[in-house]
Amino acid sequence: MFELNPLDLANAWWQHLLMLVIPGVIGYILGYRKGDSAISDLQVRLSRLDAEVEKCHQSFTLLSVPKPVAVEPDDLKIVEGIGPAIEKLLNEAGIRTFAQLSSTSADSIREILDKGGPRFQVHDPETWPKQASLAASGNWTELKRWQNELDGGRA
């Protein structure tokens, strides 16, 4: 085959050691550099993915729906012609504030009263939206003055 010590040197063992160690060191250096570049490539990819995740988080905050704010109901009985039973009917129909009542037509209020039964059909809600408008705007003096002229909520 081949001779490991062709010159019959007494200390040829170190040559054999060098033939094993030098390629090992070169392989280690090359592998370390290649691994180092692979790590840096993965770090770049990871930073890109982090940026995409951040964009997704921002889009979720833009799409989130705000929680509804609870509105304190107004005392609709302040409007002349509305008593506790009619206030309950209006509340069940979704009318809880002066602003809501002021933006509701008298015909719509009549429909709510008609659905309440014959005892509510005798009431005339013609002035209720205007009274509610005055109350919603805080114009209490004018509301009281006008209510003194009304007869049970009727003009």
**SS3 state of residue 143:** helix
User: How far apart (Å, rounded) are the C-alpha atoms in residues 128 and 130?
Assistant: 5
Residue-wise pLDDT for 115-135, tens only, equals 999 999 889 999 999 999 999
Given a contact cutoff of 8 angstroms between Cβ atoms, the answer to whether 113 and 140 are in contact is no
Greater pLDDT, 143 or 152 = 143
| pLDDT tens column, 32-42 | 777 777 788 88
pTM of the entire predicted model: 0.55
What is the C-alpha to C-alpha distance for residues 49 and 53, in angstroms, rounded to an integer? 6
Greatest extent of the chain over all pairs of C-alpha atoms, in Å: 134
Location of structure tokens 């009263």: 113
Domain residue spans of the chain: 10-64, 76-149
Query: Which residues, 6+ apart, have CB-to-CB distance to 121 below 8 Å?
Result: 113, 114
